[in-house]
Amino acid sequence: MPRTQISMRKGKSAEYKQAVLKSIYEAMLAAFNVPEDDQFMTINEHEPENFIYGKNYLDIERTDDLLMIQITANNTRTLEQKKALYATIVSNLVCNIHIRPEDVFIGLVEVTKENWSFGLGIAQYG
């Protein structure tokens, strides 16, 4: 059950944002084997003064088109699945919105299954 939050600068079209969401979701279906309809994603848009990033951190040149993607998921995936997810997200975004690979920052936060409640105040996995 991934929970995905995307941070970006304000100013992109609704079509662009939908393509971002679709690109990431399709990567999760392919690389993380998430079930159909397991889609919980948000985009947070920021004014330029509220969107700060290392323009050259680790010698990667980033632009203001940067997408900061945080995925919270169960700690059940292998290293190979994680690497496949990162590569597939970038590939999908490059293909669908023509973003530079350097402008895709992904952070994966892993949690145990009992840390989720999908509604009703119940720990469905616990």
Report, as residue numbers or ranges, the catalytic residues.
2
E strands along 1-126, which residues?
A: 3-9, 41-46, 67-74, 104-111
Q: What are phi and psi of 28, to 5 degrees?
A: -65, -40
67-74 sheet: strands from edge to edge: 41-46, 3-9, 67-74, 104-111
**Token pair belonging to 43:** 């985009």
Taking only Cα atoms into account, the Rg of the chain, rounded to an integer number of angstroms, comes to 15
